[in-house]
């Protein structure tokens, strides 16, 4: 394991999302998530995925970039960043919002790390 995660897919970071949707079923998503500093929440996953088939833990209202408001299902989950040390790579109790068609990482997750956007070439995430 590494003490930092480096992604050359600027401005995306690799991410694993785990959500328990029933007592016996867990959804595991592995994706490249766009860093969205304008999103105040934790994580967004596309509404086209498997999660939309299950009842959410709750709903949240989000204000979009154009000022419109949408209500979206949310699940409590766990996220994991590959390549980071075990003790900092996993975050439990993350709010996973199901919305849109692109995975996003928001400020609530990013503020727990040092994020370096290196001249449009790479993204570095460090504890």
Q: What is the pTM of this model?
A: 0.90
Q: What are the boundaries of each domain within the chain?
A: 12-112
CATH class of 12-112: mainly beta
50-78 pLDDT, tens digit per residue, is 888 899 999 999 998 899 999 999 999 99
Confidence of residue 24 (pLDDT cuts 50, 70, 90): confident
For residue 124, pLDDT over 80 is answered with yes
Residue 95, pLDDT score: 96
The strand ranges marked E within the chain are 5-7, 12-20, 26-35, 43-45, 58-63, 69-80, 90-98, 104-105, 114-118, 122-126
Is 69:61 a contact under the CB 8 Å cutoff?
yes
- State pLDDT tens for residues 75-92: 999 999 988 877 677 888
The answer to whether 45 touches 18, Cβ cutoff 8 Å, is no
């Amino acid at each position: 394991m590494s003490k930092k995660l480096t992604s050359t897919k600027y401005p995306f970071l690799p991410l694993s999302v785990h959500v328990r949707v029933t007592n016996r079923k867990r959804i595991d998503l592995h994706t490249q998530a766009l860093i969205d500093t304008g999103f105040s929440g934790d994580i967004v996953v596309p509404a086209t995925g498997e999660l939309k088939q299950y009842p959410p833990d709750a709903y949240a209202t989000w204000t979009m970039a154009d000022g419109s408001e949408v209500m979206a299902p949310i699940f409590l989950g766990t996220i994991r960043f590959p390549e980071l040390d075990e003790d900092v790579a996993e975050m439990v109790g993350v709010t996973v919002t199901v919305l849109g068609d692109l995975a996003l990482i928001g400020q609530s997750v990013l503020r727990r790390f040092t994020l370096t956007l290196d001249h449009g070439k790479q993204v570095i995430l460090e504890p």
